[in-house]
């Protein structure tokens, strides 16, 4: 009787060149992206610190806080961003929850409505707003809406800009919240909370919102970045927000405007890194 020797499956040799090739392509792509982003920033920084008379100088950065109109425009843009974030989240999140729980067939309709601002050019959008504001005095002067029309155009805090920014931020907020809602079982969470006697406000603020913390933070960050970088609507409507102030200052003090732009860009990047780190820690802890 011949002994049968079992044949063990030997693992196939993995080509050592494949991971190295992947790492090579990854490094090449990251290097090209770094050059694409860092070279313009580096040249802009050199423009702000180099002066033919004085050589290297940080005077442009020292003059930021004392520049005329900087504090007013920055505070106005931050206030507009805060109110815009509250309004757009207060409108979008309940609507998405209602559609997901009560009318799933309306999800494509809601998605189309929320993404329409990407199709309409900003210049067309602000032209429509300006037409309505010019049309208002002729037809609303004898109605109670006249005072409302004047109030939303107050230069101290233009509510009309908040309404415009809410529309512009809808696509980004919808995408962020939709990704967060897809990651959790909303129906099961709501049914469990309701069976335990929780009211609808308790369900929304104590059950749904904590599970959407990363998505809400992402939507808020995108809205903040949009408001701090939006120029067309504010400039054509005649309001001096932070981006409009930067362009205005650029005509007389080029180094100062570029320095402020670099600082605002770095602040937004730092906020993005903090947000990404907080989301990663939350996922790892859960």
d(Cα 44, Cα 60) in Å, to the nearest integer?
A: 12
Provide the terminal-to-terminal Cα distance of the chain, rounded to the nearest Å: 60
- Return the pLDDT at 275: 64
d(Cα 92, Cα 265) in Å, to the nearest integer?
A: 27
How far, CA to CA in Å, does 184 sit from each of 180, 195, 219, 233, 235? 7, 18, 17, 36, 41
What are the chain's domains?
68-242 (1.10.3720.10)
pLDDT in tens, 210-237: 888 888 988 988 898 899 888 989 999 9
pLDDT at 17 over 70: no
Cα–Cα nearest to 74, from 225, 228, 255: 228
pLDDT in tens, 136-178: 777 777 777 788 888 888 888 999 999 999 999 999 999 999 9
């Amino acid at each position: 009787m011949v002994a049968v020797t079992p044949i063990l499956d030997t693992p196939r040799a993995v080509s050592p060149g494949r991971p190295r090739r992947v790492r090579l392509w990854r490094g090449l792509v990251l290097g090209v992206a770094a050059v694409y982003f860092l070279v313009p920033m580096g040249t802009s920084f050199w423009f702000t610190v180099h002066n033919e008379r004085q050589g290297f100088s940080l005077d442009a950065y020292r003059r930021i806080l004392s520049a005329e109109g900087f504090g007013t425009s920055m505070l106005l843009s931050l206030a507009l961003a805060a109110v815009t974030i509250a309004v757009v989240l207060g409108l979008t999140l309940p609507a998405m929850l209602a559609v997901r729980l009560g009318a799933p067939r309306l999800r494509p309709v809601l998605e189309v409505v929320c993404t329409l601002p990407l199709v309409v050019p900003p210049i067309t959008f602000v032209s429509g707003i300006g037409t309505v504001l010019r049309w208002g005095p002729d037809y609303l002067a004898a109605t109670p809406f006249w005072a409302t029309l004047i109030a939303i155009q107050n230069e101290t805090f233009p509510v009309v800009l908040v309404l415009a920014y809410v529309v512009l931020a809808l696509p980004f907020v919808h995408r962020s919240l939709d990704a967060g809602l897809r990651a959790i079982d909303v129906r099961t969470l709501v049914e469990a909370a309701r069976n335990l006697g929780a009211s609808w406000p308790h369900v929304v603020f104590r059950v749904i919102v904590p599970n959407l913390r990363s998505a809400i933070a992402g939507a808020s960050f995108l809205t903040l970045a949009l408001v701090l970088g939006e120029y067309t609507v504010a400039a054509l409507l005649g309001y001096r927000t932070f981006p409009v102030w930067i362009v205005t200052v650029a005509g007389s003090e080029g180094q100062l405007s570029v320095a402020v732009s670099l600082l605002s860009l770095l602040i937004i990047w730092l906020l993005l890194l903090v947000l990404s780190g907080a989301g990663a820690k939350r996922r790892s802890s859960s």
